[in-house]
Structures are given as C-alpha cells and as structure tokens.
Structure 1
Amino acid sequence: MNLRNGLIMLVIILAVAGAVWMGGSKGETSDEAPVKGPEESTAKSEEAPSSPPQDSSAVEKPQQGFRAPNFKLRTLDGKTVELTKNGGKPSFINLWASWCPPCKMEMPHIQEAYEKYGDRVNFLMVNLTGTDDLDKMKEYLSSEGFTFPVLLDEKGEVADRYGVMSIPMTYAVNEEGVIIHKQMGAMSREQIFDLMEQLVKTK
C-alpha cells in the first residue's frame, strides 16, 4: 500500500511540474519574426569566432570577422545597388519586412540614424519582398515618412545567402567589406547609434 501511494504521489508531482513548465512557455514573447522557421526569441549580438582562420576576411560568410556575402539588388526608385561597390564607406545592412512588428519597432531609430550618418554610412535596408506585399510596404514607408534606401530582395536570394531564419537581422560591415557586428532581433536607439559610432570609427 505504501509503494502504491508513493507511485501516485510521484505521478502527481510530475504532472504539476509539467503544467508549470507549459504555463511559463506560453507567456514568452519574441522580438524577432520567423521567416522560414523558429529562432531564438531574444535580440542578441554575435561575438567573433574564438579562433577564426587567419584569412577569414577573404572568405564570404555571414558571420562576424568574415567578408559579407556580396549582393546586387534593385531599389524602390529603380536604381541598382551592389554591396561591394560601397564608395569607400562602411555599410549598415538590415533585413526586414512590413508585416514584421519587431522590424517596425526599430525603424524610427534607423531613420534617425540615417539622417545623421547617411553621408558616412551606406544604409542598405533589404526588404524581403518575396514574403512581403509591395503595395503595403510602400504605403507603410510613406505613412511613416521613412526616406532611407530600400532594396528589394524579390527572389529571396539575399535572405538565403545570409541564412536568415528570422527578422529583423542586421549586419555592420566596414569599408573593407568585413562584418564587424551581427545583430539578431530588434535594436534599441542606443544600440543603433552605438553601432553607427563603431562603423564611422573604422574609417
């Protein structure tokens, strides 16, 4: 009888523990929007590899310390922009979509940074057009008064090349084309302006 009571008690404890765990999971929120699959839910920066190869800056890879994968995209106003043709300036690459709430959270801060640093930093706001609604995206930009350059990733080539699983995703690239910072998730105003200062100091 004691053994039976002990087993019943064990089952009850396990059931309660499971219910508590499930309840905690339901309360989580995310500052990233998934594109192709689940991703960690907290915004975070990526540290450089502990022991990157000595020639890492010559290898294209969407990671800090490596050369940013090149791309060429059309802008909303019909121009063509290529990452490697940077005019000797560092670049700020942000992958986003108009249906993404976390993307919209940081947009006003990016616009403010563009107005202050746009003459020293290339702003490449890469819209995941293949998953977005072009008309709604244009309406959103117009209603908010955003003037930063928007690049159209219509075929998802940049998203694939950079292995994007969630957005927003941001890369800071120095004037030599090497990634000095990678950020997953929405950034605060302070984070964006700190990143701008890092970029202009690399010149």
Structure 2
Amino acid sequence: MHHNRTILPVIIGILIGALLCTGCLASEEPVVPQVANSETASPELAWITTSMTNVATGERFTIKDLVELGKPVIIHSFAIWCPGCSMQLLESTKLQTAYPDSYTVIALDVDPNDNLDKVKRHQESNKFKGIFAATPTDATRSLINAYGPGFIQSIPQTIIICGKTATYLEDGVFSADTLKRAADELCS
C-alpha cells in the first residue's frame, strides 16, 4: 500500500510534465510561415476597431490606429497559462529588441478568465515587450468569425497586418528571424 502512495505522485508528475511539454515542443519551422488566410483589414471588422486598453500604460488603442502608423503590425493571441504562447512572446520581444522601431507587436489575451491586472503582471514578470491587452468579448467573437474557433483554441496564433491586408499565419511559435522574414515579405 505504501508503494502505491509514492508511485502515484510520481506518475501524476510525469503526466503533467509531459502535458506541459507538448505545448513547448515544435517541429522545425518553415523559412516563412504558411499563410492560412489573407483578407482586407476593413474597419467593419470588430477586432480591428474595438477599443482596447494597453495594460502597461492604461491608454486606449485600436488595432486600426496602430496600423495607420505605417509599420507592420504583428498580432499574437495568447493566454497567461500557455507555455507555447510565452515562448512566442519571448521571440517577439527579441524581434522588438533587435529592431525597436520597425514593428508594432500586439499580444491579445483571449482567455475570458484573465483581466487587465493578470495580463499586466504576466507582461511585467516576463519582461515582454509590445502592447498587451485583455481582448474584449466583441473582438474575440470577431476574430473567431474571421479565422475560426482555432484562433482561441490552438494558441498562439499570429496575424500580420500590412496596410489594408491582414494575413493570418498558421498556428505555432515563430522565431524572431522567421517573424521578421514573414513581415518583410508580406509588407514589401
């Protein structure tokens, strides 16, 4: 009986570790990610025009306003509990460190259980760069309508906006170099 009590926590620990690692393991990424969908980033799309709060500054913004600044906008969906998402946000931080004025990165927390304070603590504790927001319900619904339920079920997801074109890349974690190549190719 004592043997069963010690082995059960070990088995549970191994299973939890394996589950967490599945989000961290990625196959070799392509030179430039596959484009899953491309559309006109029209103002009618709620996710483009919904007012959101930058958790670091408290300032309100819309993705449309940031796109109009003229730089490529890289958007990632994430949740604070997602290890793959944190890996992606780390890669985007590397991109912004290497090219501080070249790209605007927006991280949209799509977990309805997260709030501005949780997202802000996550950004600060991990020293992630970029604009972070807890995505309002209307914007999340609009993203699901545009890109399907996988946009919030299989995170991280990435969208790159250049001018009036929003390009939805395949899901997964992309290195800083891959993001740069994809944005440069899509925005040239």
TM-score interval (norm. to shorter):
0.5 to 0.7
- 1:194 matches 2:181: yes
Mapped to 1, the partners of 2:85 and 2:102 lie a distance apart of: 23
Contact 1:31 / 1:185 at 8 angstroms: preserved in 2?
no
1:83 pairs with 2:63: yes
**1: distance between equivalents of 2:168 and 2:124?**
29
Instruction: Give the structure with the larger helix fraction.
Output: 2
Instruction: Note the C-alpha offset of 1:109.
Output: 1.1
User: How many angstroms does 1:30 deviate by?
Assistant: 4.5
The within-5 A match list for 1:137-176 is 137-153=119-135, 155-163=136-144, 164=151, 165-174=153-162, 176=163
Structure 1 residues 94 and 136: alpha-carbon distance in aligned structure 2, compared to 1, 3 A threshold: same
1:74 aligns with 53
1:130 aligns with 2:130: no
User: Which of 83, 86, 95 is matched with 1:113 structurally?
Assistant: 95
Deviant stretches of 4+, over 6 Å: 41-44
In the alignment, what sits opposite 2:85? 103
Q: Could you state the TM-score of these two structures normalised by the residue count of structure 2?
A: 0.65
SS class of match (2:185): helix
What residue identity is the alignment partner of 1:71? T
1:95-124 deviations in Å (ceiling 9; x for gaps): 111111110122211101122334232221
Instruction: Read off the aligned partner of 2:185 and give its amino acid letter.
Output: Q
Instruction: Give the Cα separation in 2 of the matches to 1:135 and 1:82.
Output: 19
TM-score (norm 1): 0.61
The alignment covers a number of residue pairs equal to 150
CA offset digits 1:125-150 (Å, max 9, x no partner): 11225232554433332222223211
RMSD across aligned positions (CA): 3.0
* Higher-Rg member (1/2): 1
> How far, CA to CA, are the matches of 1:159 and 1:106 in structure 2?
19
